[in-house]
Structure 1
Amino acid sequence: MVPQQLPVELWLQVFSFLSWRDKLNLRLTCSHFRHLLDKSRPLWRGFSVVLQHFSRYNSAFWRSLAQRHVGGASVRSGKRKHLKQLSAWLPALEALRLDEWKEGGVDELRLFQRLQRLSLTSCSMSLRNVDFLFPLSQNLLQLSLCNVQLTCPASHLLAGLSQLTRLTSLLLHHDGSLRVPTLRGVLTHLSRLQHLSWTMITYRTLAPDFFSSTQLTEAGGLQLSDLQLLNYDAVVTQEVLQPLSRLRSLSIFHLYSVPGPTCHLQTWLTSLPQLRSLSVHGGHPLAMYADFLPSSLLSMTLCVDMQPEDLQVVSVRAPHLEHLHLEPWSSSSSLVRLLPQLFPHLRTLRIRHQHLSDDDFLCVQQLQRLHTLEVLDSFYRPDPMDPSLVIYQPSPRLIHMISELQKLTDHRVHVITSSHRDPLSCHCV
């Protein structure tokens, strides 16, 4: 049977179940499939392309991207002329990431009139100003500036950000060179902001008005629901945190692996009784704040030092936990075997398996509501005499354990061994 004998609608239905990688491979099999795939825009919804070495791309390549209405692109080691070329073929891009930008300006971004999501990361050249943001202010919803050298004054940066009144997400990660006393000046103008990720390395004590101002209070307070703080070790009071009443997700990436005498996370947890998601990386051992966890928690990421008894406290404080990412700093292998008893409502679980016995790994089948297990360390060293040789694929042992788990759960649990990050997202978190 030749492909043309089946209706186009049937082929498109089949293609809809394929991954992006499979679709790309299928395009190479015959001209009929390539035509069907390239002409069907819904099949590529959400698809992002990574571009590098622009001299290799011919007009046929660009035409195929244009036909698929690619909505997102990541440009690596790019220059201004590459932005002009990209805008000529894909003027309707909605998401764009510039990684390792090679020049000191990005004024050509004004060519992308429909851009809603912009990310600049790891730029080797400093940006002298942020004037390139002004033409984007009507449509831009998400802005990410990560590891970007800004030689403009902080006041100029804040003035530029304040123009982006439609922003719902803002990420600003830097090396500490940017001095912004409080976030009040940023938040006052961004009334729609829901997600904020900010570097805290320059702060030792948070001012009483760090998150609030008179204008915000009169407008009904902050809309923030998701807050990420990088390199955090600042003193905070409950008064400072009062404007965060709507916060539902908090991620703390501590500055020091050996923290100071005061556990500031205790204050955060007692001030946010409606918190749904908590992510903690580093800092004090779990025992220092486990007793302060709000009962509203449904999701937790714990990349900290902990003991089995600490997880028992967590199960009492957060009895309805559904999502758990567990990466203990200690090598205790007894933690995973406790999960079915402590957290019977778990639906998703992320763990590392290298130090687990087969029995401990397979015990997750006792989690009756579990539907997704992600193994975060699906690599192995095949030669004990050569630790530098690493195979970034599931080991034969892991493959066997996954097979056994599938049998025990009647394939109820979906096991993920390779996470695919959004190419447009920041890799700091």
Structure 2
Amino acid sequence: MKMPPIQWLQLPQEVLLHIFTFLSPTEKANVRATCTYLRTLVDHPSLWKNSIIVFKSIGIYNARFWDTLQNRKICSVEVSKVTLKQFKKMACSLPDITNVRMDSCLKGEILQGLQPLLNLKQLQLSDCSNVTDHDLFTEIVFFQQLTHLSLCRVTFSSVLPLTSIVLLQNLYSLSLHSKEGIVPERALQYILFRLPKLRELSLAIGNMNKWKLSLCFNMPDNFVSAFEDKPCIPRLQLHKLELMNCGCAGLSTNALNQLSTLKSVCLRHFKYLQHEDFIETILLKLPNLTELKLEWAAPFEPLMCPISSKLENLSVVGTQISNAALVWFSKSANGLKCLNLNFSYGYDEDVVKKFPCLFPHLQKLYLSNTRLTEESLVVLANLYSLQVLDISNNLHLTPEAILAFRKITSNRIGLILERPIESVKYCCW
């Protein structure tokens, strides 16, 4: 029976706020337009704490708009077309901003507009190609409270500008994706050993060879810099490492020793895996590794016998992987809880039917764009720990087959049935 409007409005505010958390932004806007009381509720900061406001053009908004965003305590914004004056307007209107992403080409001294944001923690710049590295880092080091910094399409002219990052002593996450795929290894080595809080690192390293890449993770020797007062830490404490667009495979023993604290490794657009033992070496030399991602990389075929690993999360996205490689992973990481094979290929339905035996502890399984039949879907019901199953973009499963699976599993598994078919977008492309 439908509740009369007057009774619905008499529900406690905390109940209404909880209900509104399930609404989309468009649905919230519709509720907000009904009356002053609901407008006030919809603007409650708890409903917007994880929201990202996307600005296409800042200059078109009036004071009332900025007041609304300020009342909601918006913390994250993404901007495209913007001038220095507009950046200053946004920073003054939204002083609580902690996260800024600029999704267009950075120009001139525009970052000066963010200087009023004393609480800025995360800064992501997707295109730095029109700014010299000297000018870029001169502006960035002003934000010494930053914990996350991501710079894409940077051109490094020399060693010294990059070393100024050591002034950002609170950095937890650093992404350096250069325009030419070249990062000065000496400068990178210098800053890595002088950022004591750094735990996450992402590098687009182009054709950097094994020895130059390894040098970045080796204890630096004598090195001249303007920031010699920053002490050198004895060991890296990285937890997450991402290597992109790499033309080499391998790290020296000394480098792997410095990376022994890693819990997650992502190799994206990695060119050489098929004839190297890099994957096996990573699993063998990194004892704390629980997550491995091979995304849009070269085919991988194991060369060694199964080795003991603590791996819990394996992601092979857009990459060829054979039945034999999946079996090898099942023996090397028998405690695997998450397996992502979205857009991957090279294996067949026969090995999918063996997943309950190969990966009995799986809690999440992603098979978007994988050819599955009703028979193989029924077999996957025997994954008794499974909580999430992605079978989107599958043209071979009928609604009847999916309904039968739901009945067999008593709806204990959350099914993902729809996902846009699109290539993954990375900010440095």
With normalisation by structure 2, the TM-score equals 0.84
Paired residues of 2:154 and 2:177 also in contact (CA < 8 A):
no
Taking only aligned residues, the RMSD between alpha carbons, in angstroms, comes to: 3.0
Matching residue within 133, 141, 164 for 1:134: 141
1:370 alignment partner AA: L
Q: Closer, same or farther in 2 for the Cα pair 1:313/1:25, shift >3 Å?
A: farther
Q: Please tell me whether residue 210 in structure 1 is matched to residue 216 in structure 2.
A: yes
User: Which residue pairs with 1:116 in the alignment?
Assistant: 121
> CA 1:291–1:171 in 2, change beyond 3 Å: closer, same or farther?
farther
User: Given the alignment, which residue of 331, 342, 346 partners 1:316?
Assistant: 331
Mapping for residues 369-388 of structure 1, pairs under 5 Å: 369-375=385-391, 377=393
Indicate the larger mover: 150-159 or 341-350: 150-159
Which residue of the other structure, out of 328, 338, 348, is the alignment partner of 1:332? 348
Matched, 1:299 2:304: no
Query: Do residues 247 (structure 1) and 253 (structure 2) align?
Result: no
Q: Does 1:34 align with 2:48?
A: no
* Cα 1:286–1:112 shift into 2, 3 Å: same
- Given the alignment of the two structures, is residue 43 of structure 1 paired with residue 47 of structure 2, yes or no? yes
From 57, 61, 83, the equivalent of 1:57 is: 61
Contact preservation (8 Å) 2:183, 2:205: no
1:143 to 136, 149, 153: 149
Structure 2 matches for 1:158-237, cutoff 5 A? 158-159=163-164, 161-176=165-180, 178-182=182-186, 183-207=188-212, 209-213=215-219, 219-234=233-248, 235-237=250-252
| Aligned AA (1:346) | L
Tell me the distance in 2 between the aligned counterparts of 1:293 and 1:24: 54
Separation in 2, partners of 1:166, 1:289 = 41
Residue from 104, 107, 111 that aligns with 2:112: 107
Residue in structure 1 matching 2:382, options 366, 381, 384: 366
Aligned partners of 2:52 and 2:216: how far apart in 1? 37
Structure 1 residue 221 displacement after superposition: 1.2
Deviates more, 1:356-365 or 1:236-245: 356-365
C-alpha contact (below 8 Å) 1:238/1:268 kept by paired residues: no
1:274 pairs, out of 255, 268, 288, with 288
Instruction: Tell me if the contact between 1:265 and 1:289 (Cα under 8 Å) persists in the aligned partners.
Output: no
Q: Is the 8 A contact 1:263 1:284 kept in 2?
A: no
Q: Distance in 2 between matches of 1:225 and 1:174?
A: 22
Q: Tell me the equivalent position of 1:381.
A: none
| 1:416 alignment counterpart | 416
Percent same amino acid among aligned pairs? 26
For 2:357 and 2:389, locate their aligned partners in 1 and report how far apart those are by CA, in whole Å.
17
User: Aligned-pair distance for 1:167?
Assistant: 0.4
CA distance in 2 between counterparts of 1:260 and 1:309 reads 13
The separation in 2 between residues aligned to 1:220 and 1:316, in whole angstroms, is 35
Contact 1:199 1:231 in 2 (8 A): yes
Go from structure 1 to structure 2 and tell me whether the alpha carbon gap of 1:23 and 1:307 turns closer, same or farther (over 3 Å shift): same
Distance 1:60 1:157, change over 3 A: same
Relative to structure 1, the CA distance from residue 401 to residue 232 in structure 2 (aligned partners, 3 Å threshold; closer, same or farther) is farther
Residue 269 of structure 1 contacts residue 292 of structure 1 at CA under 8 Å; is this kept in 2?
no
Aligned AA for 1:326?
L
- Asked if 2 retains the 8 angstrom alpha-carbon contact of 1:273 and 1:294, the reply is no
Could you say which residue in structure 2 is the equivalent of 1:407? 407
Letter matched to residue 163 of structure 2: L
| Counterpart Cα distance in 1 of 2:298 and 2:129 | 35
Aligned residue-pair number: 404
Superposition TM-score, scaled by structure 1 size: 0.84
1:346 to 362, 367, 372: 362
Question: Is contact 1:331-1:355 (8 Å) kept?
Answer: no
3-state SS of paired residue (1:111): coil
Work out whether residues 274 and 301 of structure 2, in 8 Å CA contact, stay in contact via their aligned partners in 1: no
Describe the shift of the 1:271–1:428 C-alpha distance in structure 2 as closer, same or farther (beyond 3 A): farther
Q: What is the SS of the residue equivalent to 2:102?
A: strand
Out of 13, 31, 53, the residue aligned to residue 8 of structure 1 is: 13
* Cα distance in structure 2, aligned partners of 1:81 and 1:224: 38
- Check whether the contact 1:109–1:132 (CA below 8 A) recurs between aligned residues: no
Question: How far apart in 1 are the matches of 2:298 and 2:426?
Answer: 25
CA distance 1:16–1:305, shift in 2 (3 Å):
closer
Contact map agreement 2:128 2:151 (CA 8 A) in 1: no
* Superposed displacement of residue 13, structure 1: 3.1
User: What is the CA–CA distance in structure 1 between the aligned matches of 2:404 and 2:63, rounded to whole Å?
Assistant: 49
Contact 1:237 / 1:267 at 8 angstroms: preserved in 2? no
Deviates more, 1:295-304 or 1:169-178: 169-178
**How far did residue 402 of structure 1 move?**
4.3
Q: Distance in 1 between matches of 2:59 and 2:17?
A: 33
The whole-number CA distance in structure 2 between the counterparts of 1:151 and 1:181 is 11
Report the CA distance shift for 1:319/1:166 in structure 2 as closer, same or farther (over 3 A).
Answer: same
Q: Compare 118-127 and 281-290 and name the one that shifted more.
A: 281-290
Q: How much has 1:117 moved relative to structure 2?
A: 0.6
Shift in CA distance, 87/283, structure 1 to aligned 2, threshold 3 Å = closer
Counterpart CA distance in 2 for 1:428 and 1:351 is 27
Q: Aligned partner of 1:312: which letter?
A: V
Cα distance 1:219–1:154, how it changes in 2: closer, same or farther (>3 A)?
A: closer
Shift of 1:59: 2.6
SS of the aligned residue for 1:273 comes to: coil
Change (3 A) 1:197 1:177: closer
**Unmatched tracts of structure 1, length 5 or more:** 379-394
The 3 A distance-change label for structure 1 pair 21 and 171 is: farther
